[in-house]
Homo-oligomer: A and B are copies of this chain.
Amino acid sequence: MGTTQLESVQEPKYWHLKTVLSEALDSDFAVGEILPNERDLAARFGVARATLRQALEQLELEGRLQRRRGVGTTVAPPRVGVAVSTDQREWADGVGGEAWQPLDSTMAKAPAPVAEMLGTDPAEPVHVVRRIRDTQGQAVAAELLYVPASSIPDLSAIEAPSGPVRARSVLRELRRLGLQGQDRSVELGSARADDAKELDRLPGAPVLVVTTRYFTVDGTAAVSVATYRADTCRLTFGDSGALEISHDEQPERQAS
C-alpha cells in the first residue's frame, strides 16, 4: 500500500468546489437563504473569483442556486414540475393562475425552419401569437405560436388589431379546427433577448426549447416554439394512465 495511486486524476478546483458547496447547501442552508458574496466566498476558499464563479455557474445550471445582479446569490427551491400537455385542449383561455397568458398577436414572417415545418412560403406572413406561462406567480416560459393565415379562414373572427384580445381570438379559431395530433421535441438553447426579458433572466440564459407541431387532417395547422427556464423548470410528460388498447396487438414498428 503506501503510495497507492490515489488521486491519479486530480479534479479541477472548480469541480471540487462545486461538490463542497453542494454539500454545504444540503446541510447548512435553507431555501431562499442568501450566500456570502462572491468575493468573500472566493477568499474563504482561497481561489480566484473567476474560479469560484465557475462553480456557482454549474450549481445555478443545476437549479441549486439563483443569482441576481445587484442582489446576491440565494439557495433555489427544488425545480417546479411543469406539465407539457399531451392532449390538445391546451388552448383554453388561461383564466386560472397556472396557464398560458396571451399577450399579443401580429402578422409576421416565420423563421425559415418554422416556415418549413408549416409548409408555407417563408416570405408569407403568418399569425404570431405571443404567450407567457406562469406557475406560482413566476414566469416559467415564453412562447411564440405560428399560425398560417390559411389555418384561420374566417378573418372576421379576428376581433382586434392587436393585444391580448386579438391573441385570444386567434387561439379561439385555432381551437375550432379539430386537431388530429401533435409532434414534439425538446432541446437546449439560450434565451433570446426578448424571451430573457419575459423570463426575468439575462440574455443567453439556458432554456429548454419545446417545439410542437399541431396537425389537422389537412397537415400542419400551427407550430409552437416555447422556451422554458432551464434553471427552474422540470418538464413533465403525462404519458401514463391508459396506455392505448393493450389487449389488441401492438403495431410492430419502431420509429427512428
* Chain A residues within CB distance 8 Å of chain B: 11, 15, 18, 58, 61-63, 79, 81, 83, 85-89, 98, 111-113, 116, 179-192, 195, 203-204, 206-209, 211, 213, 215, 227, 230-231, 233-244, 250-256
- Pairwise interchain contact B235-A187, C-beta atoms closer than 8 A: yes
A203 to B11, CA, bound (A): 10
Name the B residues within 8 Å of A236 (CB-CB): 183-185
- Pairwise interchain contact A241-B188, C-beta atoms closer than 8 A: no
Name the B residues within 8 Å of A186 (CB-CB): 186, 208, 234-235, 237
Name the B residues within 8 Å of A188 (CB-CB): 61-63, 188, 206, 208, 230-231
Name the B residues within 8 Å of A185 (CB-CB): 81, 234-237
A251 to B250, CA, bound (A): 28
A134 to B124, CA, bound (A): 40
- Pairwise interchain contact B239-A184, C-beta atoms closer than 8 A: yes
A184 to B242, CA, bound (A): 14
A188 to B235, CA, bound (A): 10
Interface centre among A181, A191, A195 (most CB of B within 10 A): A181
Assuming A186-B208, A255-B209, is B113 touching A15 (CB within 8 A)?
A: no
Name the B residues within 8 Å of A208 (CB-CB): 186-188, 208
- Pairwise interchain contact B181-A111, C-beta atoms closer than 8 A: no
- Pairwise interchain contact A240-B181, C-beta atoms closer than 8 A: yes
- Pairwise interchain contact A88-B243, C-beta atoms closer than 8 A: yes
Candidates B86, B240, B251; contact of A113 at CB < 8 Å: B251
Name the B residues within 8 Å of A15 (CB-CB): 203-204
- Pairwise interchain contact A255-B190, C-beta atoms closer than 8 A: yes
The 10 closest A-B pairs by CB, nearest first: A181-B241, A181-B240, A188-B230, A192-B255, A187-B234, A184-B237, A183-B240, A186-B235, A185-B236, A180-B241
